[in-house]
Structure 1
Amino acid sequence: MATTAAPILDEVKPPIGWIDFCPSHADDCDVAPLPAKKINLTLGAWSELVRVNQSVNAQIEQVEDIALYGVSEKWTYPDEGKGDCEDIALLKRRILMREGMPRQALLMTVVRDETGAGHAVLTVVTDRGDFVLDSKTSRILAWEATGYGFIKRQSQEHPNVWVKLGEPAPSTLIVAGH
């Protein structure tokens, strides 16, 4: 399993969903900056990522914000067992951090999916490149293998600082699996 790191371009504004999420989730947002860190992608770490991705995807019923809350966009934890893509990504991030993985390597990410629609995933930064935990699949893919257009994600140093992402290099060899 090997991939590359997503190219980081300029600093950009966080998504409005994240901005609205922060006042009621200080533990996630009101934090000190930390140096960038990667997860050492051992077999144990990979197994934990797969377990969390699959279990959260299976446990949370996917329901759009408009149906749940009557608004088009609301980032929150799916504590009632229902949520959409960003809620599911937030839960995966919280579980993995509670299990000891560094927050600097678990990054909320905004993409354009295969239909061109906005979508949120969790990017995991590892010593073998960046991988994506996605509510649409139980498979963990290298970021280049998702087919998504990567727009922006949290910086590794601080969750309230977001960065624009570049496209994968055309000559990138993608090898990913379970």
Structure 2
Amino acid sequence: MQAEGSSPGLSSYGSPSTAPRPSISDPSTSPSTCTTYSESAEQLIVLKLDGVVRDMITAVNERNFSSARPPWSTNMSPTARVVPGNLLSAEEMDRQGYLDWLNKITAARPHFRQIITDLMIEVKHGRSAEVIAQKETHGSPPGLIKPSIVSMEFRLVEERWLCTSIRSVHGIGSMING
């Protein structure tokens, strides 16, 4: 699965409403259709990480901030380095600090919701990957939509894909307006 005009190892998806998620049983993504083993293994990794990132966004939207529950317990390292939002006052935190921060933000803004608008995944040698997500934050404050870009790093650790780093930057309009 390679997006038009992208480099090998890069995959891009639109939002769930505009682009269907590829299916492993889809002939165009099946390992038996003119792809090498490494390409099909990479496709499976891309599908897995696509699901993990979407599960993380769903967890935020459903207010699941327990580090003992998936996707946090299964796909985010306890020692992950997270730098959210505003780079001017960026403070690095670990998984628990990040979940506490999200809980505080969403408690203060009950209409807070995030939506992925685009997702690009680059698999590196089958052992690590970088995910770049464009997303929108709605309801912070109510009626405002803030665009942002998130860079996530994943590593394969004991046969599990763990997020080890998250860095996000608000879109230009968000910085000007607050």
Same fold (TM over 0.5): no
- Which structure shows the higher strand fraction? 2
Question: Which range, TM-score by smaller chain?
Answer: under 0.3
Q: Which has the higher contact order (CA 8 A, sep 6+)?
A: 1
Larger Rg: 2
